[in-house]
């Protein structure tokens, strides 16, 4: 589904990302792990064509992302709060995203019903703007919005950070369900090794922009990762 | 302790993005400040001789005293609109071992050095010097100057107390208007009240105790107010009101554009700065009165072209100049969404066109001033739709400054750069030039025709120009995303 070839990103002298090859097949759930500055967000930004690669390219479903925009209809992402429109209520934001993805109001209303557990009555019908919600609730709204319109590729940057324990568990359930039928490709980054090994079938470890581990998740993976990050 | 605050302040100042504003804008702001300083200085030195010459049989000081109350009221209104509350980023300091008392004294003390107070000083002190040179009693003049400065500082602090609510502002504005009109119709003579107060300060220097008391009182009230508010929750949690959500589904008839139109309407209505732009475009409809009632301008058709383009294009210019920076805080999201750039730009164009038409319709009563005016207004509107709005979209692709929607609208230059100046000039001068040439050689009607033709060309070939503009935006996409991400 997603092929990365000779991709690098440099700012001045510093190389922040350098991936020779990374292929992610359709339906895979991939976890990106790495310390601060490892290049996780940079990779996502390149994948979403928000920054320009210095060399190389990414192909999303055979569409080179910096050449054509045809990848946008089937790709959705939530990187950070700048993906929210602060002066809209959550409902208005969901409808907005829905309209961009060709779904009408009724579709969205039905879609949102399945998330009532996650929303915990703190998001819908509260007559508050997104900018006035707490960080955790903003995150919930952003993650749910990234699932609108059945995208084939979902990109979530640190989805578990800022979420309360209950929501973390529920989110894991949702992410697992998403990839169960092998139709949706999910990319998430996380600092929480436990969560990411639980949700993802493949873990890629980045360090200073380079891939240094590429593991198929097994019961030993968590131990292996913990050992790797223990210095 | 204060020296530590000062060094923090200095770092904040030196490292603020303020200096990264364009050079041109900085020069402009510095010149503006200098201009005001010099104006006040000149006023201070030359007011006395001027009054003496104009009213030889009256005491200039007494005339001035008659206007002081008005000056103070005006000053308060200006401060309300323009003066920013002093702020020390207090949240990180609250948990430090610093007495709150010091923090508050520091914040309040800092506000004394506001431009508003300095301007007043630049007028009052020279006037005092001139008085002394004209053999007024030194002690009395010093008392007079001192009380005025006390009152100015009192206003400084009063402003911080009342600035939190609109009710006070409306109250002061009404007070100002009623006193002005009561004075005008000779019901109550506020000038003489003002004169009595300030003459007595001059006559009896001991009465400076009154302004000093006012100053101390207002300082104390501020101190108490801040002290009660200097908690994290006071600074952090805002008073949240339930928001009004409106359906806006009537926009669906505009097809794919409606998604963006709805957003833009909410953007305008729910954020201070765009809302102010929206409201100002209606207030500036009255701008025409200044020109149409003046025969001097009525004989300068090129000037009237300026007015008609300005009135009908106020929204296009003021809203348009910050496209796409209005959307800067979530621009990255828009760019990764399933969005056709064309639809995004078209919806902005549509919004500007619709507002131009609304403003044109509202300006139709100017027909009272003649058929020519109406012809010019229509030509101006067509010019704005066909030329200005497209030009402004084109220029917008060079916008590289972020706008935080939540900041106030007054004296807020965030997002302003040389681009804004460069884009307004052709929009104002180009129509005047076209009209001037056509009018000069062929006559008034041809001038109007020339404007209309330029506008119509823009409308007819809109798709062609839009395609070009769209390409430009796509080309500048990465630069815009990274520039908009730089928070200031």
Q: Does residue A52 or residue B235 have the better pLDDT?
A: A52
Count CA atoms closer than 13 A to B286's CA, side-chain side: 4
pLDDT at position B351 over 90? yes
pLDDT value for B464: 94
Q: How far apart are CA A77 and CA B450, in angstroms?
A: 50
Q: Do B259 and A99 touch (CB under 8 A)?
A: yes
For the CA atoms of B258, B260, B262, B263, the dihedral, rounded to the nearest 10 degrees, stands at 170
What digits encode the pLDDT tens for the residues A63-99? Answer: 999 888 889 999 999 998 889 998 999 999 999 999 8
Distance (Å, whole) CA A28 – CA A184 = 7
A41-70 residue pLDDT tens? 999 999 999 999 999 999 999 999 988 888
Least reliable range by pLDDT among A19-23, B37-41, B185-189, B413-417:
B413-417
pLDDT of B405 over the 70 cut: yes
Rounded to a whole number of angstroms, the distance from the CA of B265 to the nearest CA of chain A is 11
On whether the CB atoms of residues B108 and B219 are closer than 8 A, the answer is yes
- B330 burial type by CB count under 10 A (0-12 exposed, 13-18 middle, 19+ buried): buried
Instruction: Return the residue matching tokens 């076209």.
Output: B434
Write the ipTM: 0.85
- A165, with CB counted inside 10 A (0-12, 13-18, 19+), is exposed
The predicted pLDDT at position B412 comes to 59
What are the structure tokens assigned to A156, written together? 């979530």
Average pLDDT over residues B289-313: 87
On the question of pLDDT at A219 being above 70, the answer is yes
Nearest-Cα distance to chain B for A227, in Å, is: 36
For residues A42 and A206, what is the distance between their CA atoms, to the nearest angstrom?
11
Cα dihedral A171→A176→A177→A179 (10° resolution): 130
pTM greater than the 0.80 cutoff: no
From B271, B337, B482, residue closest to A72, measured CB to CB: B337
* Lowest mean pLDDT segment, chosen from B58-62, B308-312, B392-396: B58-62
- Using the predicted structure, report yes or no on whether residue B52 has a pLDDT greater than 50: yes
Three-state DSSP class for residue A21: strand
Phi, psi of A16 (to 5 degrees): -100, -15
Q: Does B238 touch chain A (CB under 8 A)?
A: yes
Cβ–Cβ below 8 Å for A82 and B338: no
| Chain B partners within 8 Å of A92 (Cβ) | 245, 266
Burial class (CB in 10 A: 0-12, 13-18, 19+), B85: exposed
Our CA-based measurement puts residue B472 at a distance from the nearest CA of chain A, in whole angstroms, of: 15
Predicted pLDDT of residue B393: 93
The span from the CA of A19 to the CA of A205, in Å, is 12
Confidence at residue B180, expressed as pLDDT on a 0 to 100 scale: 78
- Report the percent of chain B where pLDDT is more than 90: 23
For residue A28, pLDDT over 80 is answered with yes
Which positions ≥6 away from A130 have C-beta within 8 Å? A84, A85, A86, A87, A88, A89, A90, A93, A138, A141
User: Residue B470: what pLDDT?
Assistant: 92
Condensed to tens digits (0 to 9), the pLDDT of residues A111-142 reads: 999 898 888 888 888 888 898 888 899 999 99
Per-residue pLDDT band for B237 (boundaries 50, 70, 90) equals very low
The span from the CA of B278 to the CA of B284, in Å, is: 10
pLDDT score recorded for residue A21: 92
Contact call for B243 and A82, based on CB within 8 A: no
Give the residue on A whose Cα is nearest the Cα of B343.
Answer: A100
Contact B30, B155 (CB under 8 A): no
Give chain A's mean pLDDT: 91
Tokens 């206003």, residue located: B155
Q: Is B476 on the interface with A (CB under 8 A)?
A: no
Q: Which of A193-202, B251-260, B279-288 has the lowest mean pLDDT?
A: B251-260
Longest Cα–Cα distance of chain A, Å, equals 52
pLDDT-derived band at B57 (thresholds 50, 70, 90) equals confident
Confidence of residue B61 (pLDDT cuts 50, 70, 90): confident
Backbone φ, ψ for residue A74 (5° rounding): -110, 15
Q: Can you tell me the distance from the alpha carbon of B384 to that of B314, in angstroms, rounded to the nearest whole number?
A: 10
Would you list the DSSP string of B373-423? HHHHHHHHHHHIIIIIHHHHHHHHTT------TTS-STT--TT--HHHHHH
Whether chain B has a CB inside 8 Å of the CB on A72: the answer is yes
CB B338 to CB A101 under 8 A?
yes
pLDDT above 70 for B84: no
CB contact under 8 A, A49 and B336: yes
CA distance B467 to B456: 18
Distances (CA, A) of B96 to A85, B23, B103, B229: 35, 38, 11, 17
Answer yes or no: is pLDDT of B409 > 80. no
pLDDT at B22: 58
Q: What is the pLDDT of residue B236?
A: 42
Name beta bridge partners: A5: A21, A57
Would you call A96 and B262 a contact, using CB atoms and an 8 Å cutoff? yes
Whole-number Å distance between alpha carbons of B301 and B379: 13
Question: Which residues of chain A from 105 to 144 reach within 8 Å of chain B, CB to CB?
Answer: 127-129, 131-132
Can you give the pLDDT at residue B308?
Answer: 92
A200-224 mean pLDDT: 91
Q: How much is the pLDDT for B23? A: 65
Band (pLDDT 50/70/90 cuts) for residue B91 is low
Q: Residues 6 or more apart from B348 whose CB is under 8 A from it?
A: B260, B264, B320, B323, B324, B393
Using alpha carbons only, give the angle A65, A138, A84 rounded to the nearest 5 degrees: 40
Question: Is B348 an interface residue toward A (CB < 8 Å)?
Answer: no
Higher pLDDT, B26 or A198: A198
Check CB contact under 8 Å for A92 and B238. no
Q: Determine the distance from the C-alpha atom of residue B255 to the mean position of all C-alpha atoms in its chain, rounded to a whole number.
A: 36
Check whether B185 has a pLDDT greater than 90: no
CB contact under 8 A, B266 and A92: yes
Mean pLDDT of B129-133: 88
Judging contacts by C-beta atoms under 8 Å, the chain B residues touching residue A131 are 406
Judged against a pLDDT cut of 60, whether residue B435 lies above it is answered with: yes
Half-sphere exposure of A8 (CA within 13 A, CB side): 12
- CA B312 to chain CA centroid, Å, is 20
Cβ contacts from A onto B, under 8 A: 76
Tell how strand A29-33 and strand A210-216 pair up.
unpaired
pLDDT given at position B235: 44
Ranking A153-167, B290-304, B361-375 by mean pLDDT, the lowest is B290-304
Contact A51 B482 (CB under 8 A): yes
Mutate to test the interface with A, among B262, B265, B274, B333 (most CBs of A within 10 A): B333
**What ranges in B16-114 are assigned the alpha helix state H?**
23-54, 60-82, 91-94, 100-111
Angle between helices B272-283 and B258-270 (to 10 degrees): 90
In sequence order, what are the beta bridge partners of A170? none
Q: In whole angstroms, give the CA distance from residue B221 to residue A211.
A: 61
Q: What are phi and psi of B135, to 5 degrees?
A: 65, 30
Residue B84 is classified by DSSP as: P
* Lowest model confidence (mean pLDDT) among A8-22, A40-54, B82-96, B129-143: B82-96
The reply to whether residue A101 touches residue B482, judged by beta carbons under 8 angstroms, is no
Strand extents, DSSP E, B297-455: none
CA angle A49, A74, A2 (to 5 degrees): 60
Q: Per the structure block, which two tokens stand in for A53?
A: 């690669």
The better pLDDT of the pair A159, B168 is held by A159
| Summary mean pLDDT of chain B | 83
How many residues can be counted in chain A? 231
- The pLDDT value given to residue A188: 94
Q: Which carries the bigger pLDDT value, residue A51 or residue B192?
A: A51
Evaluate if residue B56 carries a pLDDT over 50.
Answer: yes
Range in B23-37, B282-296, B377-391, B411-425 with the lowest mean pLDDT: B411-425
Which among B245, B481, B482 has the least Cβ separation from residue A127? B245
Measured between CB atoms, does B271 come within 8 Å of chain A? yes
Contacts of B15 (CB under 8 A, 6+ apart): none
CB atoms within 10 A of CB B122: 19
């Amino acid at each position: 589904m997603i092929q990365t070839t000779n991709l690098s990103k440099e700012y001045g002298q510093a190389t922040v990302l350098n991936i020779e090859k990374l292929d992610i097949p359709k339906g895979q759930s991939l976890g990106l792990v790495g310390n601060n500055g490892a290049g996780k967000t940079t990779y996502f930004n390149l994948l979403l064509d928000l920054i320009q690669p210095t060399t190389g390219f990414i192909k999303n479903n055979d569409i080179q992302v910096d050449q054509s925009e045809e990848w946008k209809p089937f790709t959705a992402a939530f990187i950070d709060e700048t993906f929210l429109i602060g002066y809209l209520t959550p409902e208005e934001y969901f409808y907005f995203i829905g309209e961009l993805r060709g779904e009408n109001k009724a579709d969205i209303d039905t879609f949102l019903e399945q998330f009532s557990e996650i929303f915990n009555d703190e998001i819908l019908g509260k007559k508050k703007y997104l900018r006035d919600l707490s960080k955790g609730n903003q995150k919930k709204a952003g993650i749910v919005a990234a699932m609108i319109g059945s995208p084939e590729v979902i990109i979530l940057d640190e989805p578990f950070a800022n979420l309360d324990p209950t929501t973390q568990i529920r989110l894991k359930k949702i992410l697992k369900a998403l990839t169960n039928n092998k139709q949706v490709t999910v990319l998430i980054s996380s600092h929480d090794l436990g969560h990411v090994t639980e949700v993802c079938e493949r873990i890629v470890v980045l360090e200073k922009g380079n891939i240094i581990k590429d593991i198929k998740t097994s019961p030993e993976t968590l131990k292996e990762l913990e050992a790797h990050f223990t210095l | 302790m204060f020296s530590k605050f000062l060094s923090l302040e200095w770092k904040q100042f030196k490292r603020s993005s303020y200096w990264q504003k364009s050079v041109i804008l900085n020069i402009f702001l510095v010149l503006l400040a200098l201009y005001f300083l010099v104006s006040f200085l000149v006023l201070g030195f030359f007011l006395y001789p001027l009054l003496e010459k104009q009213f030889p049989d009256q005491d200039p000081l007494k005339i001035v005293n008659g206007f002081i109350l008005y000056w103070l009221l005006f000053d308060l209104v200006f401060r309300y609109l323009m003066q920013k509350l002093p702020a020390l980023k207090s949240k990180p300091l609250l948990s430090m071992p610093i007495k709150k008392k010091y923090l508050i004294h520091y914040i309040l003390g800092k506000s004394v050095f506001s431009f508003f107070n300095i301007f007043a000083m630049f007028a009052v002190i020279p006037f005092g010097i001139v008085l002394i040179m004209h053999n007024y009693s030194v002690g009395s003049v010093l008392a007079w100057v001192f009380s005025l400065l006390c009152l100015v500082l009192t206003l400084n602090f009063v402003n911080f107390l009342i600035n939190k609510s609109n009710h006070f502002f409306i109250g002061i504005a009404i007070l100002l208007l009623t006193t002005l009109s009561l004075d005008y119709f000779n019901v109550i003579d506020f000038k003489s009240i003002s004169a009595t107060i300030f003459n007595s300060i001059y006559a009896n220097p001991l009465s400076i105790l009154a302004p000093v008391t006012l100053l101390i009182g207002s300082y104390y009230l501020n101190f108490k107010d801040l002290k009660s508010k200097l908690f994290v929750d006071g600074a952090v949690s805002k008073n949240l009101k339930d928001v009004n959500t409106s359906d806006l589904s009537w926009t669906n008839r505009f097809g794919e554009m409606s998604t963006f139109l709805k957003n833009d309407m909410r953007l305008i209505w729910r954020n201070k700065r765009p809302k102010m732009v929206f409201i100002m475009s209606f207030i500036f409809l009255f701008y025409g009165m200044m020109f149409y009632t003046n025969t001097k301008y009525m004989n300068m058709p090129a000037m009237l072209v300026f007015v008609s383009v300005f009135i009908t294009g106020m929204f296009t210019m003021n809203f348009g100049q910050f496209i796409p920076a209005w959307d800067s805080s979530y621009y990255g999201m828009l760019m990764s969404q399933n969005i056709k750039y064309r639809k995004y730009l078209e919806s902005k164009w549509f919004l500007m066109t619709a507002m131009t038409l609304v403003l044109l319709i509202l300006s139709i009563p100017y027909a009272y001033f003649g058929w020519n005016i109406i012809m010019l207004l229509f030509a101006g509107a067509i010019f704005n739709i066909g030329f200005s709005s497209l030009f402004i979209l084109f220029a917008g692709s060079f916008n590289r400054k972020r706008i935080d929607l939540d900041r106030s609208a007054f004296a807020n230059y965030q997002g302003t750069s040389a681009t804004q100046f460069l884009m307004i000039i052709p929009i104002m001068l180009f129509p005047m030039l076209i009209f001037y040439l056509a009018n000069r050689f062929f006559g008034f009607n041809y001038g109007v025709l020339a404007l209309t033709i330029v506008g119509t060309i823009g409308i007819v070939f809109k798709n062609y120009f839009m395609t070009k503009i769209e390409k430009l935006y796509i080309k500048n996409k990465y630069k815009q995303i990274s520039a908009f991400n730089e928070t200031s």
